[in-house]
Amino acid sequence: MTLLELTDVTAFYGPVQVLEGISLSVPDGGAVGILGANGAGKTTTLRAISGTVRAGGSIVFDGKDIRGSRPDQAAALGIAHVPEGRGTLGELTVRENLRVGAYLRKDRKAIQTDIDYCLDLFPQLQDRIRSNSSALSGGEQQMLAIARAYMARPRLLLLDEASLGLAPSTAKDVYQAIKRLRVESGIAMVVVEQNANLAFTLVDSATVLETGRNVITGSSAELKGMDEIRRAYLGG
């Protein structure tokens, strides 16, 4: 079953059109990458899905056209967005951030179980549970941002450059944990990454954007085999 389908999605900032008709298809439980250079429109595509930028075209989630939904409506439908720059609440502790992630949930009893799961997924957060998130390292903040999104128990997770600014070994740890989360939770994912090597460890398929358009879409195996992808995104 298809969980999310974008067809001919457009978006503007003021008078400037930055998405020129994006397509994207995410199977239920699938993980799809969005690759491309700086400014290609990756972040704006995620914003269109989570309702944080106004979009044209069609955005169908779980059989409903959600284009034009507000961010809180998209969240209530099960779409969790981990934005570029992480967006954790710096004045709140790690535990408080995790609780905020669960604010829409009615199953209060399962929340502690899920906090324990997050701490098992990201053991570094266990030692920092009472620290303000502003005191965490970049890697720990990224882990907290992902864990907080998971606390909403979403059906779809939007991840924007989870590896940005992290040491290579930390980025690898973060992606290992996301992979484990994917397998254990079955949450579908849209993964924006500049580091295509990392993205391909997680996603089944991907699309490459250039100036607000899809230029290549294919399975991870197909894309990894293409010379132009290797040259542009895989360092060889």
Ligand X SMILES: Nc1ncnc2c1ncn2[C@@H]1O[C@H](COP(=O)(O)OP(=O)(O)O)[C@@H](O)[C@H]1O
Q: How far is the CB of 43 from Mg ion (least distance, A)?
A: 3
How far apart CA 171 and CA 129 sit, in angstroms, is: 21
Q: Which is nearer to ligand X, 6 or 94 (CB)?
A: 6
Q: What is the DSSP letter of 184?
A: H
Q: Which is nearer to Mg ion, 20 or 28 (CB)?
A: 20
Q: How far is the CB of 43 from ligand X (least distance, A)?
A: 3
CB under 5 to 8 A by kind: which of Mg ion, ligand X, none does 234 bind? none
Q: How far is the CB of 40 from ligand X (least distance, A)?
A: 4
- Region binding Mg ion by CB under 5 A among candidate stretches 42-50, 150-158, 167-175, 196-204: 42-50
DSSP assignments along 126-147, one per residue: HHTTTSBGGGS-HHHHHHHHHH
How far apart CA 10 and CA 72 sit, in angstroms, is: 21
Distances (CA, A) of 6 to 9, 54, 103, 214: 6, 14, 28, 12
* CB 48, CB 9: distance < 8 Å: yes
Is residue 195 close enough to count as binding Mg ion by CB under 5 A? no
Q: How far is the CB of 164 from ligand X (least distance, A)?
A: 10
Subset of residues 104 to 133 that bind Mg ion, contact rule: CB under 5 A: none
Q: Tell me which amino acid residue 17 is.
A: Q
Q: Which is nearer to ligand X, 62 or 210 (CB)?
A: 210
Tell me the residue nearest to Mg ion as measured from the CB: 43
Burial (Cβ within 10 Å: 0-12, 13-18, ≥19) of residue 38: exposed
Is residue 43 close enough to count as binding Mg ion by CB under 5 A? yes
* CB 2, CB 169: distance < 8 Å: no
CB under 5 to 8 A by kind: which of ligand X, Mg ion, none does 111 bind? none
Q: Which is nearer to ligand X, 95 or 213 (CB)?
A: 213
Q: Which is nearer to ligand X, 43 or 97 (CB)?
A: 43
CB under 5 to 8 A by kind: which of Mg ion, ligand X, none does 13 bind? ligand X
Q: How far is the CB of 128 from ligand X (least distance, A)?
A: 29
Residues in contact with ligand X by CB under 6 A are: 13, 18, 36, 38-44
CB atoms within 10 A of CB 136: 21
Sheet with 31-35: list strands edge to edge: 79-82, 156-160, 188-192, 31-35, 205-210, 213-219
Q: Which is nearer to ligand X, 41 or 101 (CB)?
A: 41
Which residues partner with 219 through β-bridges? 205
| Footprint on this chain of Mg ion (rule: CB under 5 A) | 42-43
